[in-house]
Amino acid sequence: MKKAIEKTHKTTHFMHTADVRANWYIIDANGKILGRMASEIAKMIRGKNSPKFTPNADTGDFVVVINAEKVRMTGKRENLKTYLRHSTYPGGQKETSFKEMISKHPEKVIRFAVRGMLPKTKLGNKMINKLKVYAGDTHPHASQNPKLINI
């Protein structure tokens, strides 16, 4: 007699945004290098650090960054990095240096770096809202019990 061959079907499980329970993480940017830190934050916000990652769903976690004013860059990058924006009027291009940006709006430096590493779609626009950046070491998200992550 022939043995019955047992068939096992392997299926891929895709997560839906409603099924995901997002965790909260806190990162201290004191003395961290901007690009390396931003790439790790983008992975967490996108959900790539989880085995339940689904490219077309928001499966990421919330990230709180404190001490944004103390982030640094390597080499001559602190002097060379500029941020460009345009008012859509002729001759309306404005340029801001990294040093000026870090002194006036340190939150924007980290937000721009992480935003550049997320998808340029509607989903990416939703994901960037999971990033909370604060210049100092205090934040209003203590009730979410964020876990401290060392990058």
- Do 72 and 35 touch, CB atoms closer than 8 A? no
Q: How confident is the model at residue 8 (pLDDT cuts 50, 70, 90)?
A: confident
Predicted confidence (pLDDT) per residue in 35-60, tens digit: 999 999 999 999 999 988 999 999 99
Q: Structural domain boundaries of the chain?
A: 22-73+104-149
pTM metric for this prediction: 0.89
* Main-chain dihedrals φ then ψ at residue 94, nearest 5 degrees: -120, 150
pLDDT of residue 2: 60
Cβ-based neighbour number of residue 111 at 10 Å: 19
Q: How confident is the model at residue 4 (pLDDT cuts 50, 70, 90)?
A: low
* Distance, CA of 13 to CA of 6 (rounded, Å): 22
Average pLDDT, integer, range 19-35? 95
pLDDT tens readout for residues 108-145: 999 999 999 999 999 999 999 999 999 999 999 999 99
The answer to whether 25 and 63 have CB atoms below 8 angstroms apart is: yes
> Is 1's pLDDT higher than 80?
no
Q: For 22-73+104-149, give the CATH class.
A: alpha beta
pLDDT digits (tens, 9 = 90+) for 61-103: 999 999 999 999 999 999 999 999 999 999 999 999 999 999 9
